[in-house]
Amino acid sequence: MLPIELSAISWALYLVDWNKSCTREQLLTTRARQLERKDDNVTKAAHTLARNRQQNKDFFDSHRHKRLEELGIGDLILLFNSVLKKQWSRKLDNRWLGPYRIRAIKKERGTYLLEELDGRELKLPFPGEMIKKFYPRRGVDEVDE
């Protein structure tokens, strides 16, 4: 018997000795006990699964990168070029694309819908971890006000 068999419901928990010949009544009794406990086992498994999922969500939320600056609709952003992430031969290429403009924010999902500067919409939503705020450079002709 393994240690897991003491906590998990299985045939071994009913201590059926498979080396001895069992009568049909003993096997039917053991199977009936298993069927009686099935609903309890399913309920217990559902509660355990829900608890584990909540723990995983809490862990993810506590270790997730939090955005320091708030992004709003109309802000200019840069988009991370994930195609170059694992290409060593192009390690000096520009890893950020853009600038793009934010056209909508899906806060419940943490995603952003983007558009080109000319107004053409990008079809896919992008996660917040792949974008950063764009700060344009000041031109030579601009004067401090």
pLDDT per position as a tens digit, 85-114:
777 777 778 889 999 999 999 988 889 999
Residue 144 in any domain: the answer is no
Q: Does the structure show a pLDDT above 80 at 143?
A: no
Task: Look up the pTM and report it.
Answer: 0.53
> CA neighbours within 13 Å on the CB side: how many for 56?
6
Q: Given strand 76-80, what is the order of strands in its sheet? A: 121-127, 111-115, 96-106, 76-80, 131-133
CB-count burial class (<10 Å; 0-12, 13-18, 19+) for 125: middle
Residue 143 in any domain: the answer is no
pLDDT digits (tens, 9 = 90+) for 54-97: 999 999 888 877 677 789 999 999 999 888 777 777 777 888 99
Residue 112 in any domain: the answer is yes
Average pLDDT score over the chain: 83
Nearest by Cα to 10 from 25, 18, 24: 18
> Which domain does 115 fall in, by range?
76-133
Please, which residues bridge with residue 97 across strands?
79
The arithmetic mean of pLDDT across residues 138-142, rounded, is 65
